[in-house]
Amino acid sequence: MEESIKPIDADPVEDDPIESEPLAGRYQLREKLGAGGMGEVYRGHDLRLDREVAIKVPRVAHLEIAPNAIERFEREALATAKLGHPNIVEIRDFVAEGERPFLVMENLQGTSLSEHLKKRSALELAEAVEIHVQLLAALDAAHDAGILHRDIKPQNVFLVPLDSGATLVKLLDFGLASLMEEKDSARLTITGMTVGTPAYMSPERLDGAASIGCDLFSVAVCMLKCLTNSLPVSCAGRTRNELREHADARGIYQPDSVWRLLEKALSKDPEARFRSAKEMSNALRGLISTEANGPTVEVEGRASAPSNSQPATKPMKAGANPRELEAGPKDEPSIARPPSSVPSRPGVSAQSSIQQEKTSRGKLWLVILVVVALGAAALWALR
């Protein structure tokens, strides 16, 4: 019988109670910030350094089904801590005392991308690109260090507002998913469960593989979620036309370049996708420059700023075909220029004719002055 696959946060077990005693004699749990199928995150206090922290504690039930989980958890926690990347949550401590390890992380102020999307119908292209460019920067650093995230989704992307008005993106949950994996296991499922969230997983990831391409596929699904605030039943192998129709059905328009990029990133063939996070990031940045040079289209009261090199188009009317707008304004017929009002001689420009006319007038006035002078001299001689 084929083993079923379900997300790690489906049917979570009952929450573990908050411990009254400080963990490792140092970290006091305060209140729960969030919970999933594998673990719980608490706001805590570091009694030694007197500062607020976030503490992630795995569920006891999952430690029982993965005998090598503590060793694997520690190895990946240490590797993540060494990254020191601004877009990756900072791990400040790892404690494996007793039978229940836990991670101590920086206490972030902000909201998850998942919560952010609940307040918006969809994100503007520029905002979605900025978020995912930072997300890909985090993955690029992790992949260079040989670390795969395995569970990219909006719940694991945290948005921190800065005083400057910008938003800092933090990628969460490195390594925790490995608590579900047994060491040297060829398949990443245990007792009917799989590491990751199926809606964001590539076809080969669902079959147990893990690679850079799997992480990038999940980023593309996350991007599609941000642009449309919805996902098809399956994202794998979707063509640009199918992606466009999915957005059009929700009254959302994006340039064709967006759907071409996502079509590549969501390919069923891993070799047809982007080869690295940096390559995908560069492609995303190109969407903004392309949009800046393209025609402006207003959809549901929202309009992008017109380009300096392109005239702004009229707002799209109801029932209009957005593909016709993508083609841009048609070439205007050439307009014949009226002839110059200054007559010109054959082979001589109008400017030369004017200059010659001024020269002739100057000579005429000189002759007149000479004649007057000679006449005056003759009269003087006669006296």
Total residue count of the chain as it appears in this document: 383
- Please name every residue paired with 103 in a beta bridge, in sequence order, or none if there are none: 56, 94
Question: Which run of H or of E encompasses 353?
Answer: helix 350-382
**In whole angstroms, what is the distance from residue 144 CA to residue 142 CA?**
5
Residue 89 CA: distances (Å) to CA of 67, 81, 86, 103, 345:
27, 9, 8, 11, 79
Q: Which amino acid is at 28?
A: Q
* Whether 59 contacts 9, CB under 8 Å: no
Residues 118 and 225 sit within 8 Å (Cβ to Cβ): no
| CB 194 within 8 Å of CB 6 | yes
In which element (H, E) is residue 257 found?
helix 256-265
Sign of the torsion angle spanned by Cα atoms 108, 114, 119, 122: positive
The position carrying tokens 């101590």 is 104
Joined tokens for residue 76: 């990946």
CB contact at 8 A, 258 and 241: no
Contact yes or no for 144/79 (Cβ under 8 A): no
Give me the catalytic one of 46, 140, 151, 215: 151
Residue 50 bears catalytic tag? no
106 class by beta-carbon count within 10 Å (0-12 exposed, 13-18 middle, 19+ buried): middle
Output the six-digit token pair for 298: 């207003």
Catalytic annotation, residues = 151
